[in-house]
């Protein structure tokens, strides 16, 4: 529930001359916290407001020497950005002549900025910026194609909002007399762990325990979301190691849906094995899920999050039980090992046609590419749908692909008219191909198994959804493939990063049937029936879809109509719903309901 809003003078003119009282009040009205709950820092060139739950005082003279930190539920001063404790969302370090804005490695909390002449306004929510009277609201069509293909912006800091950029995950931007290019804050932690697998497994387990302790907060028992998969089970085991079984409670949700499988048996198995006596199982109601879809889009400020509307129901259940946070295993495992294998294969001379020639058939063909092709070499595996457009365009920029249109059906040509020309993340041009692919996917939240790893929506409800695996000390183990690489055709090589080390690190601590369980990702998400119903409701709110997509450019309506059958997140329809909320409807401080969206159709 952290709120950050600030304004900076690029021209050295006093901030009072650039930010008038009316604009300031309109922006502050969009924060989740009332003004009485905000701390304010004032400097000649700066205004900065942040939610506080403990009193903080800072005069202009202190501002010259100290930084300002925003963390869950607490605003305080720090003087060393590298010493910031884990679990923080976004933060700003300030002097009279500069302010540095940084976004967490998890990327779950957003951090936006917009330039209005010599004034820069920035916030951890898009809504205060949209409320500024000088910001002309509109769709940024430069990123339209990449969003329609993936649901995400994938190149550079631009957002779907015209004139508004965002700080990328794990990156920082400095404001002085200019807006300096973004840079990685601590990319040294975004690297593969090296060493013996058993020793690395133990190191990962110890790092998780330390992170769980730091994330737990003062309340006891510590609440852990437990599905019975290896990730959540490892977090539960780490919590038991840190606080004892009596100091941990597990919560497990299941979908009230006859089409959906249940994981309650697995969760109970783990809870019993670890000695966790407090295990709360609750159902997720389909009506509540469908009603929460507009709210999750509005709170997360992202169209990709609509299928995960049930996370709001989980947060409300945690709050109902009197807890202010819960720990989750989301964020362990990624596509970075595949990206490394692909880059190494290309650079070591495997013909690009062999690696890339079957991509189109795999993604769009009538028949699937044989499962065994990835067993010949991991680089031959077709990319995950969320990575497809990103990889085609990155490899085009690097000269490995000459004609990206041949990787897409003719029907999608209108959605390929805006090829990105900017780097995907800071400093990639100086990196080897493997590192370019990995960091590009990381910065834009495209490579984690859970692309909806958003803390923001839950925090707006007063509940912190924290993934200890994405703390600095853990992320290398959880996210990047080990070195030296396991043998090519071994079972270890086929596991995603993090999973292999969890098996080694929690051997003898968790049951073997959990460590070696083959989990279906469908177990953790809404069923196809719920998703179809959600699409129907979005369509009812935009009855002219997809014909109204023609305003994006010639042929867009037909292309979007064709694409919806392949888009993993119904990106065209979800974009239209997002556009209605953030572009067409007035800026508001409460999420819209379906009824309000329907009534606003005219």
| Higher pLDDT, residue 233 or 109 | 233
378-406 pLDDT tens trace: 888 889 988 999 999 999 999 999 999 99
Residues whose CB is less than 8 angstroms from the CB of residue 385 and which lie 6 or more positions away in sequence, other chains included:
363, 566, 568
Sequence ranges of the domains in the chain: 4-135, 197-333+449-524, 336-443, 528-599
Positive or negative: CA dihedral 379, 385, 387, 391: positive
Stated pTM of the model: 0.92
The mean predicted confidence, pLDDT, of the chain is 87
| Higher pLDDT, residue 446 or 522 | 446
Omega within 30 of 0 (cis) for the link into 546: yes
Give yes or no for residue 193 having a pLDDT over 80.
Answer: yes
Q: What integer pLDDT is reported at residue 443 of this predicted model?
A: 93
pLDDT-derived band at 2 (thresholds 50, 70, 90) equals: low
Positive or negative: CA dihedral 519, 329, 188, 182: positive
Give yes or no for residue 488 having a pLDDT over 70.
Answer: yes
Backbone φ and ψ for 203, nearest 5 degrees, come out as -65, -40
DSSP β-bridge partners for residue 254: 283
What is 259-314 written as a DSSP string? Answer: TS---HHHHHHHHHHHT--EEEEEEE-HHHHHHTHHHHHHHHT-GGGGGGTHHHHH
pLDDT-derived band at 72 (thresholds 50, 70, 90) equals: very low
Q: Which CATH superfamily is domain 197-333+449-524 in?
A: HUPs (3.40.50.620)
Q: What integer pLDDT is reported at residue 179 of this predicted model?
A: 96
- Percent of the chain scoring above 90 in pLDDT: 61
* 42-56, 436-450, 529-543 — most confident range: 529-543
| Higher pLDDT, residue 428 or 225 | 225
The Cα-based distances of 166 to 107, 420, 470 in angstroms read 11, 17, 20
pLDDT-derived band at 77 (thresholds 50, 70, 90) equals: very low
Q: Which residue has the tokens 């300096």?
A: 180
Q: What is the average per-residue pLDDT within 350-377?
A: 80
Backbone Cα Rg of the chain:
24
Structure tokens at 173: 């931007």
DSSP label at residue 555: T
Q: What integer pLDDT is reported at residue 1 of this predicted model?
A: 43
pLDDT-derived band at 246 (thresholds 50, 70, 90) equals: very high
Cα angle 589-591-597, degrees, rounded to a multiple of 5: 120
Q: What integer pLDDT is reported at residue 91 of this predicted model?
A: 61
Q: What is the average per-residue pLDDT within 66-91?
A: 41
DSSP β-bridge partners for residue 464: 325
Residues whose CB is less than 8 angstroms from the CB of residue 298 and which lie 6 or more positions away in sequence, other chains included:
581, 591, 592
The Cα-based distances of 523 to 259, 413, 470 in angstroms read 11, 35, 22
Q: What is the average per-residue pLDDT within 523-548?
A: 91
**Phi-psi bin for 445: left (phi > 0), alpha (psi -120 to 50), beta?**
left
Omega within 30 of 0 (cis) for the link into 484: yes
pLDDT-derived band at 87 (thresholds 50, 70, 90) equals: very low
| Higher pLDDT, residue 36 or 98 | 98
Q: What integer pLDDT is reported at residue 62 of this predicted model?
A: 36
Backbone φ and ψ for 2, nearest 5 degrees, come out as -75, 135
Q: What is the largest CA-CA distance in the chain?
A: 68
Q: What is the average per-residue pLDDT within 23-42?
A: 81
Q: What is the average per-residue pLDDT within 321-348?
A: 93
Q: What is the average per-residue pLDDT within 473-494?
A: 89
Q: What integer pLDDT is reported at residue 373 of this predicted model?
A: 76
pLDDT-derived band at 525 (thresholds 50, 70, 90) equals: confident
Q: What is the average per-residue pLDDT within 165-192?
A: 91
Structure tokens at 548: 């109204």
Residues whose CB is less than 8 angstroms from the CB of residue 44 and which lie 6 or more positions away in sequence, other chains included:
9, 12, 14, 15, 60, 96
Q: What integer pLDDT is reported at residue 493 of this predicted model?
A: 83
Give yes or no for residue 160 having a pLDDT over 70.
Answer: yes
- Percent of the chain scoring above 70 in pLDDT: 89
For residues 394 and 423, the answer to whether their CB atoms sit within 8 Å is: no
């Amino acid at each position: 529930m952290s709120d950050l809003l600030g304004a900076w003078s690029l021209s050295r003119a006093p901030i009072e001359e650039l930010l008038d009282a009316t604009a300031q009040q309109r922006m502050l009205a969009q924060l989740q916290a009332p003004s009485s709950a905000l701390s304010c820092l004032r400097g000649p060139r700066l205004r900065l407001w942040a939610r506080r739950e403990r009193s903080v005082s800072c005069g202009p003279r202190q501002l010259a020497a100290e930084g300002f930190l925003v963390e869950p539920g607490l605003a305080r001063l720090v003087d060393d950005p590298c010493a910031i404790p884990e679990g923080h969302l976004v933060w700003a370090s300030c002097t009279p002549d500069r302010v540095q804005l940084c976004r967490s490695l998890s990327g779950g909390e957003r951090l936006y900025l917009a330039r209005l002449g010599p004034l820069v306004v920035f916030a951890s929510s898009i809504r205060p910026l949209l409320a500024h009277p000088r910001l002309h609201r509109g769709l940024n069509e430069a990123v339209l194609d990449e969003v329609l293909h993936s649901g995400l912006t994938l190149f550079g800091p631009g957002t779907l909002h015209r004139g508004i950029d965002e700080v990328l995950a794990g990156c920082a931007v400095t404001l002085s007399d200019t807006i300096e290019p973004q840079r990685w804050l601590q990319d040294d932690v975004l690297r593969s762990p090296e060493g013996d697998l058993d020793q690395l497994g133990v190191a990962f387990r110890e790092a998780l325990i330390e992170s769980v302790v730091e994330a737990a907060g003062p309340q006891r028992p510590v609440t852990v979301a437990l599905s019975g998969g290896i990730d959540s089970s490892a977090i539960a085991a780490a919590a038991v190691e840190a606080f004892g079984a009596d100091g941990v409670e597990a919560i497990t949700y299941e979908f009230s849906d006859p089409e959906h499988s249940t994981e309650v048996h697995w969760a109970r198995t783990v809870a019993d094995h670890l000695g966790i006596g407090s295990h709360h199982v609750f159902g997720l109601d389909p009506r509540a899920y469908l009603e929460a879809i507009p709210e999750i889009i509005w709170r997360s400020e992202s169209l990709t999050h609509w299928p995960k509307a049930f996370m709001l129901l989980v947060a409300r259940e945690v709050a109902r039980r009197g807890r202010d946070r819960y720990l989750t295993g989301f964020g362990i495992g990624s596509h970075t090992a595949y990206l490394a294998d692909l880059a190494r294969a290309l650079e070591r001379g495997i013909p690009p046609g062999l690696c890339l020639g079957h991509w189109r058939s795999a993604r769009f063909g009538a028949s699937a590419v044989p499962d065994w092709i990835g067993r010949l070499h991991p680089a031959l595996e077709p990319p995950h749908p969320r990575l497809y457009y990103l990889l085609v365009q990155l490899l085009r920029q690097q000269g490995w692909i000459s004609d990206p249109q041949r990787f897409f059906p003719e029907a999608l040509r209108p959605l390929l008219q805006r090829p990105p020309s900017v780097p995907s993340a800071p400093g990639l041009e100086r990196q080897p191909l493997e590192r370019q692919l990995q960091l590009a996917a990381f910065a834009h939240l495209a490579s984690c198994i859970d692309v909806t790893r958003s803390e923001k929506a839950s925090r707006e409800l007063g509940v912190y959804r924290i993934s200890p695996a994405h703390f600095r000390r853990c992320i290398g183990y959880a996210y990047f493939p080990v070195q030296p690489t396991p043998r090519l055709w071994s079972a270890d090589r086929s596991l995603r990063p993090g999973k292999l080390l969890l098996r080694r690190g929690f051997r003898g601590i968790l049951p073997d049937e959990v460590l070696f369980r083959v989990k279906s990702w469908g177990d953790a998400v809404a069923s196809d029936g719920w998703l179809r119903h959600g699409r129907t409701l979005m369509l009812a709110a935009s009855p002219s879809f997809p014909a109204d997509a023609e305003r994006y450019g010639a042929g867009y309506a037909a292309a979007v109509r064709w694409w919806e059958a392949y888009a993993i997140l119904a990106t065209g329809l979800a974009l239209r719903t997002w556009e209605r909320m953030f572009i067409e409807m007035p800026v508001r401080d409460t999420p819209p309901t379906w009824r309000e969206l329907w009534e606003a159709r005219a």
